[in-house]
Amino acid sequence: MNLAGVDLNLLVSLRALLQERNVTRAAQLVGLSQPAMSNALARLRRQFGDDLLVREGRGLTLTPVARELQHAVEPALGMVERALRIQASFDPSTAAQVFRIAASDYGMTLIAERLRDLGQVAPRVVVDLVQIDHGFVRDSEAVMRRVDLLLAPRAFLNGYPSEPLSSEPWVAVVDAQHAGDRLEESDLHGRSLVGLFHDLGSGAHIERLLTVRGITATGSVNAESFSAVPALVEGTERIGFLPASLAARLRPGYAVRVLEVPFLPEPLVESLYWHRSAQRDPAHQWLRRLVLGVDTTATTDPSVP
């Protein structure tokens, strides 16, 4: 296809239509009139040879072609937006920019301290924190094009630039009536677990860590949040596992105990991932330094990795 003959502005309208599934709301989202958006939809239908949005009941639904486009349009526009904002240099004191960081609730606590002075250092910069979900495994390339940084366990993704951010031991969380100060492997017999991020297949999936060591245990309750673990353990026979620092913060609010886990010597290592296209972007270099806790006053140079 010759891109010179395509109005790429239509992609912005297409994204809004696929997201809102309503011509009026899509028009409001991108600042067009309703007739202008209707015209854009008509042009898009001709472009793709498909209705894209069809009437179903009182609303509109996506055709199979539109659903496929939905997976392609968002990352494509994300790459375009990232390319357009690249500058020769980046001055956080004057820059007006929005960054998107994906992480678990635990990951968000790790970078919270790094963001405390954001208002003073970069008063017009906004950081959106989004919860990691199953989409990060199903289509990592599309996801990595939509976010600036992803904070996840080491080896969660392959083929992307990364830097280690933290490393700390796992601890067990049990009901306050549990006896002893350590959790032994034998304590798992007949006990159920609180599974973590069960469908992500990441290092945070505690069942996987146990299985590697020949320990068979199953999660009777699975949570998509670390912070839910103490509540799901309190008053039950369940055992939960958390990074040590997060367990220390959460424990006072619940009738639970935190125990050492000698049979799980491997720490939870969290790493920072980003897309290859952002490697030399000065704004992105500044963001990485900020989150990693290194000198953000250093010159950002697109020639520096």
Contact 152, 197 (CB under 8 A): no
pLDDT given at position 220: 76
- CATH assignment of 3-84, among 3.90.440.10, 1.20.1050.140, 1.10.10.10, 1.20.810.10: 1.10.10.10
pLDDT given at position 209: 76
pLDDT given at position 303: 42
pLDDT given at position 88: 59
The CATH code for residues 170-266 is 3.40.190.10
- 305 pLDDT tier (thresholds 50, 70, 90): very low
Q: Higher-confidence residue: 154 or 215?
A: 154
- Which pLDDT tens digit goes with each residue over 161-181? 999 999 999 999 999 988 777
Cα torsion for 225, 171, 290, 281, to the nearest 10°? -70
Which residue type is seen at 11? Answer: L
pLDDT given at position 272: 95
Kindly calculate the radius of gyration of the chain based on its CA atoms and give it in whole angstroms. 23
Contact 38, 21 (CB under 8 A): no
Residue indicated by tokens 């945070």: 204
State how far the Cα of 295 lies from the Cα of 202, in Å rounded to an integer: 30
Residue percentage of the chain with pLDDT more than 70: 85
If you write DSSP's letter for every residue of 187-238 in order, what string do you get? GGTT--EEEESTTT-STT-HHHHHHHTT----EEEEES-GGGHHHHHTTSS-
Q: Higher-confidence residue: 11 or 232?
A: 232
DSSP structural state of residue 158: S
pLDDT given at position 304: 44
Same fold flag, 94-165+269-292 and 170-266:
yes
- 248 pLDDT tier (thresholds 50, 70, 90): very high
- Which pLDDT tens digit goes with each residue over 177-213? 887 778 888 888 777 888 887 665 544 567 777 777 7
Instruction: Write phi, then psi, for 144 (nearest 5 degrees).
Output: -65, -20
Q: How big is the chain, counted in residues?
A: 305
Residue percentage of the chain with pLDDT more than 90: 38
- Give the mean pLDDT of 140-147: 79
By three-state DSSP, how is residue 103 classified?
strand
Picking from 135, 168, 129, the residue whose alpha carbon sits closest to that of residue 151 is: 129
- CATH assignment of 94-165+269-292, among 2.60.40.10, 3.40.190.10, 3.30.930.10, 3.40.710.10: 3.40.190.10
pLDDT given at position 294: 85
Q: What's the mean pLDDT when you consider all of the chain?
A: 83
State how far the Cα of 148 lies from the Cα of 98, in Å rounded to an integer: 10
Domain boundaries, the chain: 3-84, 94-165+269-292, 170-266
The answer, yes or no, to whether residue 102 has pLDDT greater than 60, is yes
State how far the Cα of 98 lies from the Cα of 192, in Å rounded to an integer: 42
Contacts of 162 (CB under 8 A, 6+ apart): 271, 272, 273, 274
Q: How far apart are the first and last CA of the chain?
A: 33
pLDDT given at position 84: 62
- Which pLDDT tens digit goes with each residue over 67-90? 888 877 877 777 666 666 665 578
Q: Higher-confidence residue: 11 or 285?
A: 285
